[in-house]
Amino acid sequence: MKRVQIGIVLAALVALSSTLFTQQAPMSFFVTSTGPGDGANLGGLEGADAYCQMLAAGVGRGSATWRAYLSQASGFQGPAAINARDRIGTGPWYNANGAMIAANVADLHGDVQRDRNNIRKPTALDENGEEVKGVGDQPNQHDILTGSDSHGRIVGPVGTAAATTCDNWTSNGDGAAIVGHHDRLGGPNASWNSTHSSRGCSQENLVGTGGAGLFYCFAIN
């Protein structure tokens, strides 16, 4: 009888450990599978956040609060500058497959040690768990809108919104936006969040430099 009881207990422990092992953290990071389609006019930060929220809700993660990884430049008469790094929570963040992207804001941006995050083509997945096209794919869509420097902060002095954030994500014509490369390919300075400026803010111009109006989304809770 004791052997039977011991066997039952051991079987239960094995089943429990197997369940715990297979559980994965819920998705808290993704690259948008598509952009809104109006170039870099995302409806400002508010519109971009709502877009992240909508895509997350479509795959069952709408209970979390989502923020777009985008900086906002200050103007001579407002608005206030906002750094992308300051609006995405504290981490850790995981992709749709449960792989950790970064443990915290410092690791995400390499504040203490460079290259501490896990943003690369195989891990920078969209909300559906699919890879985003990059160098070598047709079409290449590795340009990810950020408007930020490599530390996740707005670039330039007051009044540079048109040149770095497509007028704070409201322009689909003139201007430019800083983009990163999610695959970290394409030039010696291929950073995930700050590689080069776009040719313009229209959908056509974003596509022309290897983008599609995509951006990063992070859950803050």
| Predicted confidence (pLDDT) at residue 2 exceeds the cutoff of 70 | no
What is the rounded CA–CA span in Å between residue 210 and residue 198?
Answer: 9
- Are 67 and 87 in contact, with CB atoms under 8 Å apart? yes
Say what the pLDDT of residue 6 is.
46
Average pLDDT over residues 152-178: 91
H helices, E strands: number in the chain: 6, 8
Separation CA 62–CA 179 (nearest Å): 26
User: Cα(169)–Cα(41) distance, rounded to whole angstroms?
Assistant: 5
Residue 133: C-alpha distances to residues 49, 120, 181, 182, 198 (Å): 23, 11, 11, 9, 18
3-state SS assignment for residue 163: helix
Amino acid (1-letter code) at residue 140: N
At 124 the pLDDT is 98
Q: What's the chain's average pLDDT?
A: 90
Confidence of residue 194 (pLDDT cuts 50, 70, 90): very high
Question: What structural domains and CATH numbers belong to the chain?
Answer: 32-88+133-219 (3.10.100)
pLDDT single digits (tens) 104-160: 999 999 998 887 899 999 999 999 999 999 999 999 999 999 999 999 999 877 777
